[in-house]
Amino acid sequence: MTPAEEAAYRARQRSRAIATAVVLGLLVVLFFAVTIAKQS
């Protein structure tokens, strides 16, 4: 793997990790909101 390829690889991994973190964070908020809504 050349340095340029490794940089591109790491950048792609980073963007996927951020996207996964955002989705998981939104799921936490969603489950919290659903719990509150079901109780009201």
Partner 1 sequence: MASHDNIAVKEAAAGYTPVALPADWRDFVALTKPRVMWLAVFTGMAGMLAAPGHLHPVLAFVAVLCIALGAGAAGALNQYWEAGLDARMRRTANRPLPAGRMEPGEALSFGVTLGFASVLLMGLAINWLAAAILAASILFYLGIYTMWLKPRTPQNIVIGGAAGAFPPLIGWAAVTGDVSMLPVLLFALIFLWTPPHFWALALFMKTDYAAAGIPMLPVVSGQRMTRIQIALYTVPMAIAALAPWLMKLTGAIYGGTALALTAVFAVLALRVALSRTSDPALMKPERQLFAFSIFYLFALFSALIIDRTLGA
C-beta of 25: minimal distance to partner 1 in Å? Answer: 15
Measured distance CA(37)–CA(33) in Å, rounded: 6
Q: What's the length of the chain?
A: 40
Task: State the binding string over 1-40 for partner 1 (x if CB under 8 A, else -).
Answer: x---x--xx--xx-xx--x----------x--xx-xxx-x
Question: What are the structure tokens assigned to 34, written together?
Answer: 């659903």
Alpha-carbon span 36 to 8, nearest angstrom: 43
Number of residues in contact with partner 1 under rule CB under 8 A: 16
* Site of interaction with partner 1 (CB under 8 A): 1, 5, 8-9, 12-13, 15-16, 19, 30, 33-34, 36-38, 40
